[in-house]
Structure 1
Amino acid sequence: MSEALRRDYQVCEEIGRGRFGTVFRCISRESGESFACKSIDKRLLNDSVDRECIDKESKLMQIVSGNPNIVQIYNVYEDETHLHIVMELCNSSDLYDRISNRTFTESEAAKVVTALIEAVAHCHRRGVAHRDIKPDNILFDDFNRLKLADFGSAQCFRESDPMSGIVGTPYYVAPEILAGKEYNEKVDVWSCGVILYIMLAGIPPFYGESAQEIFEAVLRANLRFPSSVFHSVSSSAKDLLRRMLCKDVSRRFSADQVLRHPWITSGGQT
């Protein structure tokens, strides 16, 4: 463990584990405040691509910092074997836990999606696409404020320079990514649309028994609203879902357009 990290923070119990490392709770020796420390074992990095992703995560988090709905980064330390990123601590359950056992009312869903899309729009205005938005990466702090996390797949973009590469997670990945096409930041809006659909319906919009079947369903992008689960969902909510889960990227809403939709501006009351 980095001497500089231990000088500034007391490193406590493990609170999470990922592909390249471990997340610990740590306490600032100066303020006594608790934080999360993501410690990445550089010896587990297989190639230069892995190393580039790890370096990029902390840099992109700094670019998008300052928004209340994005996990804040405070310090970065590095020693011979590890990279340590000190971040805001989110102790409450993530969105995956919250949507696993229940559906949301429209007003509850609107509150979550508004905060999420505000975070996404903030990233996009700063030229950063998250590219792996899913319920597991949507955290909540002790005050129940939503925090978008895990920028390990994020990438900078420009309008004249589309992105490429297969990233994302089954159910939530946009069809243009799976098709191997170049794509833009609207892949994040698609992922948010999938999350909204699941919150309202309790089931994903594109389903399969295996990853391959899920990908095939996403590529077809045949959006349906089964009456058995959407009978009480408003036409305004379904209109927004159609605009977020639109296979034609040129017609798919941007994050800023989502924020201006009547269902969002009314708090899910239309």
Structure 2
Amino acid sequence: MPSPAPPFGSQAVLDEYTVLKVLGAGKFGEVNEVKHKETKKRFAWKRVKFENDPHCEAEVQVLKQLKHHGVVGIYQVFSQGGALDLILELCSRGDMQQFIESKVEPAPMTGKKMYVPPVLETIADITQQLLATVSFLHENCVAHRDIKPENVLLTSRTQWKLADFNLATTFDPNEYMAEHVGTTPFKAPEVEDMKYTEKCDIYSMGILFIALATGKRYWRPESLEDEEDKLVAEELLSEKTWKDAELGKPALDFAKYMISLEPERGSAEEALKHPFLMQYSSQAGCCTIS
């Protein structure tokens, strides 16, 4: 099968790499799996046009700064044709949204589709991995600002990694951030007020944790206009819902802790010490290795 036609201005990439297949397309550009012609190693090629993503150069600088096993690695950057071509670490097992969708199965008796969550230990281990990465980012004064299942990728070695740093930024610990960015419902309430800290990432992690545990996206009831939608949101975080799903109160308490309002919401380092993770994660107490 012939390689896909090269996008305009990307010949420099095609001189070194063979395009194998399209991995996905998002708001800012297309991602392809490619193979280096000499080493035969496989990578992800993300092509972003400047006109579509004014933050793309900032993303490159952040990725070059961050060397951590929980952050998607960047290997090469080409700039031509009004676009940036990023050669990134390949995460061949897809994103967390695909992982969540793979857990939807027909119920034994009715055949009605239902979400079958991973066991608590798996949920805790995944969350611990990601929070350790977020802790690393914050220690280096970087906020991701767009943590959601689509931006969390899985490698062939079962390592979860944060990706898509196009909205990430460096921050001053003594000043608030004010740029209105992110994706609802993962965006922290204080981001709407354009006065927030790096703890906005912890809120996003809380909504991601709820999605991983329940298969559903949580919306703050006060952000909804329809009364029925508000009741659905409130029920999602009820003790009965989490008990019926065999998740339990410790997991629910952890979810509520991460999505609490400032200043009650803890830091990434504090979240890693939460009783839920200490009880269920096999990695609890492990050092974060950069």
State TM-score, norm by structure 1: 0.85
Following TM superposition, by how much is the alpha carbon of 1:164 offset from its aligned partner in structure 2, in angstroms?
A: 1.1
C-alpha distance in 1, partners of 2:194/2:80? 38
Aligned to 1:225: 237
> Is the 2:239–2:248 contact (alpha carbons within 8 Å) kept by the matching residues of 1?
no
Q: How does 1:181-192 map to 2 (within 5 A)?
A: 181-192=194-205
C-alpha distance in 2, partners of 1:222/1:69? 33
Greater shift, 184-193 or 198-207, is seen at: 198-207
State whether structure 2 residue 38 is matched by structure 1 residue 37. no
- Classify the secondary structure of the residue corresponding to 1:113: helix
Aligned to 1:157: 171
Following TM superposition, by how much is the alpha carbon of 1:22 offset from its aligned partner in structure 2, in angstroms?
A: 1.6
Compare CA radii of gyration and give the structure with the larger one.
2
Aligned to 2:29: 21
Sequence identity, in percent? 28
Aligned amino acid, residue 6 of structure 1: L
Following TM superposition, by how much is the alpha carbon of 1:224 offset from its aligned partner in structure 2, in angstroms?
A: 6.6
Aligned to 1:172: 186
Aligned amino acid, residue 72 of structure 2: V
C-alpha distance in 2, partners of 1:203/1:20? 25
Give structure 2 stretches of 5+ with no counterpart.
1-8, 105-114, 283-290
1:267 alignment partner, one of 280, 283, 286: 280
Following TM superposition, by how much is the alpha carbon of 1:199 offset from its aligned partner in structure 2, in angstroms?
A: 2.2
State whether structure 2 residue 263 is matched by structure 1 residue 250. yes
> Is the 1:2–1:79 contact (alpha carbons within 8 Å) kept by the matching residues of 2?
yes
Cα deviations across residues 40-97 of structure 1 (Å, max 9, x unaligned)?
233x44xxxx43x011011111112x21121111111111332100001112131112
Per the alignment, do residues 71 and 213 of structure 1 end up closer, same or farther by CA in structure 2, a change over 3 Å counting? farther
C-alpha distance in 2, partners of 1:40/1:203? 30
Aligned to 2:250: 236
State whether structure 2 residue 80 is matched by structure 1 residue 79. yes
Aligned amino acid, residue 171 of structure 2: F
Aligned amino acid, residue 18 of structure 1: G
- Classify the secondary structure of the residue corresponding to 1:266: helix
Following TM superposition, by how much is the alpha carbon of 1:236 offset from its aligned partner in structure 2, in angstroms?
A: 2.4
C-alpha distance in 1, partners of 2:180/2:235? 22
Give structure 1 stretches of 5+ with no counterpart.
none
Following TM superposition, by how much is the alpha carbon of 1:3 offset from its aligned partner in structure 2, in angstroms?
A: 4.5
Aligned to 1:8: 16
Following TM superposition, by how much is the alpha carbon of 1:15 offset from its aligned partner in structure 2, in angstroms?
A: 1.9
> Is the 2:46–2:86 contact (alpha carbons within 8 Å) kept by the matching residues of 1?
yes
Cα deviations across residues 87-136 of structure 1 (Å, max 9, x unaligned)?
01112131112223232321121011011111111111111100010001
Following TM superposition, by how much is the alpha carbon of 1:212 offset from its aligned partner in structure 2, in angstroms?
A: 6.1
> Is the 1:237–1:268 contact (alpha carbons within 8 Å) kept by the matching residues of 2?
no
- Classify the secondary structure of the residue corresponding to 1:16: strand
> Is the 1:162–1:182 contact (alpha carbons within 8 Å) kept by the matching residues of 2?
yes
> Is the 2:134–2:268 contact (alpha carbons within 8 Å) kept by the matching residues of 1?
yes
State whether structure 2 residue 60 is matched by structure 1 residue 58. yes
C-alpha distance in 2, partners of 1:224/1:81? 45
- Classify the secondary structure of the residue corresponding to 1:230: helix
Aligned amino acid, residue 212 of structure 2: M
1:195 alignment partner, one of 188, 208, 231: 208
Per the alignment, do residues 223 and 245 of structure 1 end up closer, same or farther by CA in structure 2, a change over 3 Å counting? farther
- Classify the secondary structure of the residue corresponding to 1:251: coil
C-alpha distance in 1, partners of 2:179/2:225? 20
Cα deviations across residues 192-223 of structure 1 (Å, max 9, x unaligned)?
11111222233333267xx9659xx99xx979
Following TM superposition, by how much is the alpha carbon of 1:166 offset from its aligned partner in structure 2, in angstroms?
A: 1.7
Aligned amino acid, residue 255 of structure 2: L
Count of aligned positions: 255
C-alpha distance in 2, partners of 1:201/1:80? 44
- Classify the secondary structure of the residue corresponding to 1:12: strand
Per the alignment, do residues 198 and 22 of structure 1 end up closer, same or farther by CA in structure 2, a change over 3 Å counting? closer
- Classify the secondary structure of the residue corresponding to 1:236: helix
Aligned amino acid, residue 85 of structure 2: H
> Is the 1:120–1:188 contact (alpha carbons within 8 Å) kept by the matching residues of 2?
yes
Aligned amino acid, residue 24 of structure 1: N
